[in-house]
Amino acid sequence: MEDVTGAQLIAESLKAQKVQYMFGIVGVPVIEVAMAAQAAGIKYVGMRNEQAACYAASAIGYLTGRPGACLVVSGPGLIHALGGMANANMNCWPVVVIGGSSDRNQETAGAFQEFPQVEACRLYSKFSARPSSLEAIPSVIEKAVRTSMYGRPGACYVDIAGDMVNASVNRNRVRVVSCCPPAPVSLAAPDAITEAISVLKAAKRPLAIIGKGAAYGRAEVALRQFVETSGLPFLPTPMGKGVLPDDHPHCVAAARSRALHQADVILLFGARLNWMLHFGLPPRFDPNVKVIQVDLCPEEMGNNVRPAVALLGDLSSIVTQLLTCVHKDAWKYPSDTEWWITLREKMTANAKISKALALQTTLPLNYYTVFHHISQLLPHDCIVVSEGANTMDIGRTMLNNYLPRHRLDAGTFGTMGVGLGFAVAAAAKEQSEKKSKRVVCVEGDSAFGFSGMEVETMCRYMLPVVIIVVNNNGIYSGLDAGTWKEMAKMGNLTSIAPPVSLLPDARYDEMMTAFGGRGFLVRTVEELRSALQMSLNDWERPSLLNVLIDPSSDRKQQEFPWLTRSNL
């Protein structure tokens, strides 16, 4: 048997566990690992920042159900990736980070980029370990991949000492580890299913909430059958959008606040009662609301609100159990109830407000006008990536999703800077699988700044991502160019410029053209529609639309805003 290096063992072990993608930044001591990964048939994407690389690897985990690998160098490289690991853990997405580290014989001696990496990663991951020998690499990789997927998905870390990368061992000394199977599937207790249906039948104002756990759990077919059979109104969370189409007649997203506030029974499918759902508490919710909680994580049951019924297990399987019970009892919630009438009236009223804002023709443009015209041109099967403050929040209501796992945004952790990494991952997956879905990344100008250099990554790999920067010159709001110039005349801008302000009318479009992509400066509706259509028709290179809007443009007044203060 021939000898095999540590780098080869890492790559072959990842491949054996059906890890298909690796994102990272190479350097000492992991260059050979990336080369071995490519030789093993793993698709390697070199990024410009380790955070973005980890965001991309975790997005692959969400999109495919199998973790992506993130490869980073020691010390600062690994530290930069911690943000992506934390985001993956909070979003419950599987990812495996492979980090190079100091040589074993230099530990505690002040080695190059020496850092307690295994210990540091324990705060940000489900599993963190360093193989004790070359022979142990396949077993540790298998455990990292398995742990990242089983139970509540999340991040795992494998530390590789620098001297192990090029060291070699005879193959017959290395134990072959087979691929870990998909996570085991469990069902809810039958009596709990019966109780849940009983609570639903007694409800006057029921509501189903579909979270990204339903999207990750591939529950779309069963959920559609259940919603249409039971007649329940449903509300998607931001990344639950598309599990059922946003234009489905039972979707009440346009009356979100009213639905949450007045529902007396909520059936919670793979969503958590955290800040994004206002903790399930008054005044956002009825103080007497009954919650039927469906989740695969037992520790999630009862967080903030004690459930009337807890259904623990695989989400798709539990929905099938509920559907069987509904069929057996021939039960359906009527479509002509006062509850449905109330929801439809609120949806109609909110739609009128948004449409009035969208049809404004004054310049500069506002958010609603921009999103109105974007929504008219986007293909129904496109993958929408979105981040920002107003940009993301308004986009949640105006950019529809029609397919599951076709929306990626800042998520549970509210992380800014994820957008371009997510877009690279989605586009790399589409390119690799030879599919033809467009990836459209809608960003605020502040959010774009976190990972803007990843436009070079897109150009380098010829990933035809369409980036739309909704540019209001600031964080939440900015200043117009005239006001900025007047302030500059007054003295030192570090003393007087508002902390939320960014450089007015910054030419983000020229960043894209600098690397060979297409850049468009957009000020009018006509320019927006023309540039977006040209970008969607170009499959050879990425594009960036720099859409200048009114710096004081804001969202319409919400009954209950997304962000819930903790002192309620």
Tens of pLDDT along 177-191? 999 999 999 999 999
Is there a domain that residue 257 lies in?
Answer: yes
Statement: residue 565 has pLDDT above 60: no
Say whether both 423 and 302 belong to one domain.
Answer: no
Domain count for the chain: 3
φ/ψ of residue 427, rounded to 5? -70, -40
d(CA 354, CA 44): 43
The pLDDT tens digits of the residues spanning 455-504 come to 999 999 999 999 999 999 999 999 999 999 999 988 889 989 999 999 99
Q: Which two tokens stand for residue 60?
A: 């692959």
Say whether both 164 and 212 belong to one domain.
Answer: no
Task: Identify the pLDDT of residue 392.
Answer: 94
d(CA 141, CA 147): 10
Single out the residue of 392, 367, 393 nearest to residue 257, CA to CA: 393
Instruction: Indicate the pTM of the whole model.
Output: 0.95
Task: Report the length, in residues, of the chain.
Answer: 568
Say whether both 332 and 375 belong to one domain.
Answer: no
Do the strands 290-295 and 383-387 form a parallel or antiparallel pair, or are they unpaired?
A: unpaired
> Quick one: 377 exposed, middle or buried, by C-beta within 10 A (0-12, 13-18, 19+)?
middle
Boundary residue ending a domain (146, 173, 200): 173
Do the strands 21-24 and 3-5 form a parallel or antiparallel pair, or are they unpaired?
A: unpaired
Task: Identify the pLDDT of residue 492.
Answer: 86
Statement: residue 14 has pLDDT above 80: yes
d(CA 67, CA 54): 11
Say whether both 166 and 251 belong to one domain.
Answer: no
Say whether both 262 and 200 belong to one domain.
Answer: yes
Say whether both 329 and 414 belong to one domain.
Answer: no
Statement: residue 566 has pLDDT above 50: no
Say whether both 440 and 523 belong to one domain.
Answer: yes
- 237 falls in which pLDDT band (50, 70, 90)? very high
Is there a domain that residue 353 lies in?
Answer: no
The pLDDT tens digits of the residues spanning 190-204 come to 999 999 999 999 999
Helical residues (DSSP H) of 336-418, grouped into ranges? 338-358, 367-377, 390-398
Do the strands 3-5 and 68-72 form a parallel or antiparallel pair, or are they unpaired?
A: unpaired
Single-letter amino acid code for the residue at 371: F
Q: What is the separation of C-alpha 547 from the centre of its chain, rounded to a whole number of angstroms? A: 23
Task: Identify the pLDDT of residue 126.
Answer: 97
Helical residues (DSSP H) of 207-337, grouped into ranges? 212-216, 220-230, 256-262, 315-329
Is there a domain that residue 183 lies in?
Answer: no
The pLDDT tens digits of the residues spanning 122-157 come to 999 999 999 999 999 999 999 999 999 999 999 999
Single out the residue of 555, 534, 556 nearest to residue 545, CA to CA: 534
Boundary residue ending a domain (280, 313, 345): 345
For residue 29, say if its preceding peptide bond is cis, omega within 30 degrees of 0. yes
d(CA 169, CA 120): 29
Statement: residue 238 has pLDDT above 80: yes
Say whether both 332 and 224 belong to one domain.
Answer: yes
Tell me 541's DSSP state: S
Tell me 108's DSSP state: T
Statement: residue 239 has pLDDT above 50: yes
The pLDDT tens digits of the residues spanning 246-275 come to 999 999 999 999 999 999 999 999 999 999
- 558 falls in which pLDDT band (50, 70, 90)? low
Say whether both 517 and 372 belong to one domain.
Answer: yes
Single out the residue of 78, 7, 75, 86 nearest to residue 44, CA to CA: 7
Residue 470 sits in a domain whose CATH number is 3.40.50.970
Neighbouring CB atoms inside 10 A of 192's CB total 18
Single out the residue of 442, 464, 449, 429 nearest to residue 385, CA to CA: 442
The pLDDT tens digits of the residues spanning 60-76 come to 999 999 999 999 999 99
Is there a domain that residue 555 lies in?
Answer: no
Boundary residue ending a domain (295, 318, 345): 345
Say whether both 235 and 158 belong to one domain.
Answer: no
CB 196 within 8 A of CB 322: yes
3-state SS record for 132-161:
CCHHHHHHHHHHHHHHHHCCCCCEEEEEEE
Range of the domain at 142: 3-173
Task: Identify the pLDDT of residue 564.
Answer: 52
Is there a domain that residue 443 lies in?
Answer: yes
Is there a domain that residue 350 lies in?
Answer: no
Average pLDDT over residues 432-450: 95
Residue 258 sits in a domain whose CATH number is 3.40.50.1220
Q: 219 in helix, strand or coil?
A: coil
Is there a domain that residue 567 lies in?
Answer: no
159 Cβ neighbours under 8 A, 6+ residues apart: 99, 101, 117, 118, 121, 128, 129, 130, 131
Say whether both 393 and 533 belong to one domain.
Answer: yes
Say whether both 156 and 202 belong to one domain.
Answer: no
CA dihedral for 12, 67, 114, 108, sign (positive or negative): negative
Is there a domain that residue 554 lies in?
Answer: no
